[in-house]
Amino acid sequence: MENCIFCKIANGEIPSATLYEDEDFRVILDLGPAAKGHSLILPKRHAANLYELPDDLAAKALIVARKVGQTLQMGLGSDGLNVLQNNGEAAGQTVFHFHIHLIPRCTKDGVGMGWKPGTLTEEDKEEVMALFR
Ligand code: AMP
Ligand code: ZN
């Protein structure tokens, strides 16, 4: 994809702090990290979001997340890891080339990623469950 910055980074046209690379993915350090070690898994083939990602790459992406995430967490001595993936502007996506965030977490690191729990109403439950009937 022309003019896609993550295509250029993933394929090595733009230099990046690369932690891991294989034939399908490059994992880089995020330039605006939420925490130390915040990384991005980028497929080398362009897909705007999860819905456009081919099945084989979707499956492989989680294996890369486990592999790199574990090295980050163990190596940095973190207490946990967030695996995060945004689809669409409303969901916080700002770069429209699929990517998975790996964010090493420490207890009381102050990184905000939560929500205020609501209540599951009968109406919502019915509406959503009906989508799968
Ligand atoms: P998202 O909001 O899920 O689309 O995440 C985009 C992420 O990409 C943000 O965390 C940015 O800090 C990061 N980012 C944007 N441009 C670059 C870049 N050139 N190199 C590394 N990370 C980047
Ligand atoms: Zn792209």
- Predicted confidence band at 54 (pLDDT cuts at 50, 70, 90)? very high
Joined tokens for residue 5: 């910055």
> Minimum-distance ligand to the CA of 88?
1
Instruction: For tokens 């995430």, name the residue.
Output: 69
pLDDT of amino acid 114: 86
Give yes or no: 46 in active site: no
- pTM of whole model > 0.95? yes
How much of the chain exceeds pLDDT 90, in percent? 96
Taking 90 as the threshold, does the pLDDT of residue 113 lie above it? no
- Nearest Cα neighbor of 23 from 45, 5, 38 is 45
Joined tokens for residue 36: 């130390």
Kindly list the protein residues whose Cβ atom lies closer than 6 A to any atom of ligand 1.
5, 28, 30-32, 40, 86, 92-95
Q: Whose CA is nearest to atom 16 of ligand 1?
A: 31
Q: Which alpha helices (H) appear in the chain, and where do they start and end?
A: 5-10, 55-76, 122-130
Q: pLDDT for 27-49, tens place per residue?
A: 999 999 999 999 999 999 999 99
- Mean pLDDT value across residues 82-110: 97
Q: Whose CA is nearest to atom 3 of ligand 1?
A: 93
pLDDT of amino acid 1: 77
> Minimum-distance ligand to the CA of 6?
2
How close is the Cα of 131 to the center of ligand 2, in Å?
A: 31
**Amino acid letter, 80:** G
Ligand 1 atom closest to Cα of 14?
Answer: 19
Taking 80 as the threshold, does the pLDDT of residue 70 lie above it? yes
DSSP-assigned beta bridge partners for residue 26: 21, 42
How close is the Cα of 14 to the center of ligand 2, in Å?
A: 12
Q: Which residues contact 45 (CB under 8 A, 6 or more apart)?
A: 24, 54, 57
